Amino acid sequence: MSRTEPMQLPVSQLQVGITVKLPMSWKNHPFLLNRVEIKDATQIELIKSLGVPYVILLSGQELIEQALAEAEQVVEDKPVEVKQVDPKVQVRKSLRLSQQRFIDCVNESRSSFGKVASDPEGAYRAAAGLVEEMLEHMLEVEKPYLALVSAGESDASVTQHGISVAVLSLMIAKALDLPKSAMRDIALGCLFHDIGKLKVPDVIRRKKTALTAQEANFMKMHPNFGYDMLNKSGLYPKPMLDIVLHHHEFIDGSGYPDGLVESKIATTTQIVSLANDYDKQLWSGEISSPQIALGYLFKNRAGKHTEKLIEVLVKILGIYPPGTLVELSNGCVGKVMMTAKEVKQPQVWACETDGSGAALRFLSQEGVTVTRVVKLEELSEGAMKVLQADTGICFYFSGVE
**What's the first-to-final CA gap in the chain, in angstroms?**
52
Domain boundary among 297, 317, 337: 317
Higher pLDDT, 361 or 34: 361
Q: Is omega for the bond preceding 257 within 30 degrees of 0, making it cis? A: yes
- Report the C-alpha gap between 141 and 162 in whole angstroms: 23
Q: Is the model's pLDDT at 76 over the cut of 70?
A: no
Cβ neighbours, 10 Å, residue 6? 12
- Report the C-alpha gap between 105 and 397 in whole angstroms: 12
Q: Are 12 and 153 within one domain?
A: no
Average pLDDT over residues 211-231: 94
* Percentage of the chain modeled with pLDDT above 70: 91
Q: Are 158 and 186 within one domain?
A: yes
82 belongs to a structural domain: no
Question: What confidence tier does 65 reach under pLDDT thresholds 50, 70, 90?
Answer: confident
Closest to 11 measured CA to CA, from 2, 27, 23: 23
Which long-range contacts does 362-366 make (Cβ < 8 Å, 24+ apart)? Answer: 362/87, 362/88, 362/91, 363/328, 364/340, 365/87, 365/88, 366/330
Q: Is the model's pLDDT at 262 over the cut of 80?
A: yes
Express each pLDDT in 173-216 by its tens digit: 999 999 999 999 999 999 999 999 999 988 888 887 889 999 99
Q: Are 275 and 330 within one domain?
A: no
pTM for this structure?
Answer: 0.79
- Report the C-alpha gap between 130 and 124 in whole angstroms: 10
The SS3 of residue 301 is: coil
Question: What confidence tier does 3 reach under pLDDT thresholds 50, 70, 90?
Answer: very low
Q: Are 133 and 62 within one domain?
A: no
Q: Are 112 and 148 within one domain?
A: yes
Q: Are 297 and 351 within one domain?
A: no
Note whether 295 and 49 are within 8 A (CB).
Answer: yes
401 belongs to a structural domain: no
Question: What confidence tier does 12 reach under pLDDT thresholds 50, 70, 90?
Answer: confident
Query: Tell me, what CATH number does 305's domain have?
Result: 1.10.3210.10
- Report the C-alpha gap between 345 and 361 in whole angstroms: 10
Note whether 370 and 377 are within 8 A (CB).
Answer: no
Average pLDDT over residues 5-32: 80
Average pLDDT over residues 164-177: 97
Identify the pLDDT of residue 357. Answer: 93
312 belongs to a structural domain: yes
- Report the C-alpha gap between 401 and 144 in whole angstroms: 6
Average pLDDT over residues 288-306: 85
Closest to 324 measured CA to CA, from 109, 103, 51, 56: 51
Least confident of 27-36, 88-97, 156-165, 324-333: 27-36
Higher pLDDT, 88 or 195: 195
Pseudo-torsion of CA 172, 350, 87, 102, nearest 10°? 40
Identify the pLDDT of residue 84. Answer: 59
Closest to 265 measured CA to CA, from 217, 309, 218, 311: 309
Half-sphere exposure (Cβ direction) of 346: Cα atoms closer than 13 Å: 30
Question: What's the total number of domains in the chain?
Answer: 3
Q: Are 16 and 40 within one domain?
A: yes
Closest to 44 measured CA to CA, from 272, 393, 319, 233: 319
Q: For residue 336, report the phi and psi dihedrals to the nearest 5 degrees.
A: -65, 130
> For the residues of 142-194, what is the DSSP string, one character each?
SS-EEEEE--S-SS--HHHHHHHHHHHHHHHHHHTT--HHHHHHHHHHHHHTT
- Estimate to the nearest angstrom the gap between the alpha carbon of 149 and the chain centroid: 13
Closest to 172 measured CA to CA, from 158, 160, 182: 182
Q: Is the model's pLDDT at 288 over the cut of 80?
A: no
Domain boundary among 47, 76, 105: 76
Q: Are 116 and 218 within one domain?
A: yes
Angle at 127 between CA 121 and CA 131, to 5 degrees: 140
Express each pLDDT in 321-344 by its tens digit: 999 999 999 999 999 999 877 777
Domain range holding 379? 325-390
195 belongs to a structural domain: yes
Identify the pLDDT of residue 153. Answer: 65
Average pLDDT over residues 314-321: 90
Express each pLDDT in 362-375 by its tens digit: 888 888 989 999 98
Q: Are 93 and 48 within one domain?
A: no
- Report the C-alpha gap between 109 and 126 in whole angstroms: 8
Identify the pLDDT of residue 91. Answer: 84
Tell me which H or E stretch contains 7. Answer: strand 7-10
- Report the C-alpha gap between 252 and 262 in whole angstroms: 7
Note whether 315 and 343 are within 8 A (CB).
Answer: no
Higher pLDDT, 293 or 332: 332
Q: Is the model's pLDDT at 164 over the cut of 80?
A: yes
Identify the pLDDT of residue 184. Answer: 97
Q: Are 251 and 105 within one domain?
A: yes
